[in-house]
Structures are given as structure tokens and as C-alpha cells.
Amino acid sequence: MREFQGRVVAPGTVTAPALVSHGGLNTLASFQKALQFGDKKATCGDQNNPDLYGKEMLGKALCLPQTIGSTTGGLVLYCACAMERQPACMLFSKPIDSLAAAGSILASVWLEGVSMPVVDSLGEEFLSYVKEGMTITVKENGVVCVT
């Protein structure tokens, strides 16, 4: 087991299997099927992300360096949470961008009973260490345990 300390962006605790992307997450392309076409498993639709394309994001600990793409990113994350099609948590090796932060923070504040903890600044070592399917536990203080 390894522990990594990050910065809490959206609070919460969760344990979930890891889903890892070594490239940036295009939020609109990734969640489009879930938000527009009723895909309740939030299957990643971003063909430019070979790590995630075609994989279910719902209920997974999404481990990634950063988000990329459209200025709709924050709204997409908020809507995924509102429709209960969000990852269990989002864990960033780099500092989170303002759009993704806004969407995840608004979801944590405005949506009752919906949780998607977000921790950033976990470091490159985190993203190198974690592998798909490993168990991730996010603690309230931003500690992420990987087993």
C-alpha cells in the first residue's frame, strides 16, 4: 500500500477501483454519451484517449493528470453529478484547472446526496504508481491510499 497527499478540492471519502489515464481528460468528449444519449454507465466516448475510450467511468476512481478541451468542462462535471453518472472520485496528479474545479465544487455544494471527492496535486509518482483495477481510498484530509 502507498499513500499520497494531495489538496482537497471537493471533500468526501470513498473507496473505488482505479481507472487510469496518462493523458488529459476531455470532459465533454468523455461524458457526452452519458449526458446526451442516456448511457447510465458513463462509458468514455473520447476516441483520442486510448487509456479510457470505451471504459465505464461510473463509480471508478478516475486517476489523471489534468482535464483538457472545452470551456464546458465544469458544466459537464456538474451535470454528470446531477445525473448520477459521475466517477466515484477524481484524482489529479497536477493542479486542477479552474473549470474542472468549479464544476466539482458546485456539485458538492448544490447537489444533496451526491458525492464526487476531488483531490489534486498528487504528483507524477502517484500517476506512475497507480494501475487500473487497484483499490483507491480517498480520505477527508486529501490522503489517497492505493492498494
The residue extents of the domains of the chain are 2-146
Please say if the pLDDT value at position 2 is more than 90: yes
pTM metric for this prediction: 0.96
Largest Cα span, the chain: 39
The SS3 assignment for 136 reads strand
Q: What's the pLDDT score for residue 88? A: 98
Nearest residue to 80 via CA among 118, 40, 48, 21 = 40
Q: List pLDDT tens digits, range 30-42.
A: 999 999 998 999 9
Please say if the pLDDT value at position 9 is more than 90: yes
pLDDT confidence bin for 69, thresholds 50/70/90: confident
Q: List pLDDT tens digits, range 99-137.
A: 999 999 999 999 999 999 999 999 999 999 999 999 999
Average pLDDT (15-27) is 97
CATH 3.40.309.10 fits 2-146, yes or no: no
* Residue 123 φ/ψ region, left for φ over 0, alpha for ψ in the -120 to 50 degree band, beta for the rest: left
Q: What's the pLDDT score for residue 117? A: 98
pLDDT confidence bin for 27, thresholds 50/70/90: very high
pLDDT confidence bin for 70, thresholds 50/70/90: confident
